[in-house]
Amino acid sequence: MKPELDHAYYEKARKRTKQKKRLYFHFVLFLIGSVFFVLLNKVIKFHPELDWYVWATFAWLFLLILHFVNVFVMNRFFDKDWERIQTEKLLQKHKEKTEKLEKKLEKSGALESLEDNS
């Protein structure tokens, strides 16, 4: 394998590892933060008349789920490779349409008359 490809695969793997590491850190922070919210509300009695820790935990859980989706769903389907493949598909489609149009013009003789006029 070429050294450039080895390096590209290494960089991609390193980037994915960093993303997963940040997600796992976010999850651990979420657990610790949620316990802290409960202790603050119920044990320390910070606004005990409201169960605000539930809403704070659900809001944070929502952000954690978004982070999870970004790392494991969106990056899997919409990374740089996906972008490159989609661009290549569009370029190929454009090339095929252009070739088809040129063949159609050749059959009708319009292409030769355009070339003769120029």
Each residue of 24-71: pLDDT tens digit?
Answer: 999 999 999 999 999 999 999 888 898 999 999 999 999 999 999 999
Q: How far apart are CA 85 and CA 109, in angstroms?
A: 36
1: DSSP letter: -
79: DSSP letter: S
pLDDT value of position 82:
77
Closest of 95, 19, 96, 26 to residue 62, by C-alpha? 26
pLDDT value of position 112:
60
Crossing angle of helices 80-108/110-117, nearest 10°? 90
pLDDT value of position 113:
62
pTM: 0.64
